[in-house]
């Protein structure tokens, strides 16, 4: 398990950029955190690390945005998904088990669909340090339960 304290959006993007640069084909990253925690800021930095040059936005209404980089990036936002069955109807397994890299915002809503080996990233405001600070915790599948 790795924990990083970010003091700004730029810090969050830089940390995520490093993770993106080191991401392997077929990797799935589950992004956890409240509204406004910084999941999309993280996604922008992660995408840049993969060499994505497009503007990365949260796919809240489209469920998935696809980006071209050194590896394809599939950015999911499952906030509006009502059930795991509805998520399965999107063809998510083709992405999860493909050659690209998946980032899944609100992954706690589909825990049974996440493949073995998923990396979890929890982003939380750290108000003890200040409004702009975030605590980013990264761990591998099986280290902790998704709801913890």
Residue 42 half-sphere exposure toward CB, CA atoms < 13 A: 27
Q: pLDDT by residue (tens digit) across 90-123?
A: 888 889 999 999 999 999 989 999 999 999 999 9
pTM of the model: 0.88
In a domain, 148, yes or no: no
Q: pLDDT by residue (tens digit) across 30-77?
A: 999 998 889 999 999 999 999 999 999 877 677 889 999 999 999 998
In a domain, 145, yes or no: no
pLDDT higher than threshold 70 for residue 141: no
DSSP conformation letters of 73-120: EEEEE-TT---HHHHHTTTHHHHHTSSSEEEEETGGG-GGGSPTTPEE
Give the count of domains, the chain: 1
Report the pLDDT value the prediction gives residue 139, as an integer from 0 to 100: 95
CB contact at 8 A, 69 and 40: no
120: containing domain: 2-136
In a domain, 146, yes or no: no
pLDDT higher than threshold 60 for residue 29: yes
């Amino acid at each position: 398990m790795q924990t990083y304290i970010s003091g700004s959006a730029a810090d969050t993007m830089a940390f995520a950029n490093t993770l993106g640069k080191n991401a392997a084909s077929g990797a799935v990253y589950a992004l956890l955190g409240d509204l406004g925690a910084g999941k999309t800021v993280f996604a922008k930095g992660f995408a840049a690390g993969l060499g994505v040059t497009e503007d990365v936005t949260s796919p809240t209404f489209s469920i998935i945005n696809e980006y071209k980089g050194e590896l394809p990036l599939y950015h999911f936002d499952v906030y509006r998904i009502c059930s795991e069955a509805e998520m399965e109807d999107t063809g998510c397994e083709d992405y999860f088990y493909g050659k690209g890299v998946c980032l899944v915002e609100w992954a706690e809503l589909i825990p049974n669909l996440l493949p073995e080996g998923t990396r979890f990233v929890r982003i939380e405001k750290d108000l003890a340090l200040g409004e702009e600070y975030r605590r980013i915790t990264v761990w591998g599948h099986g280290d902790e339960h998704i709801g913890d």
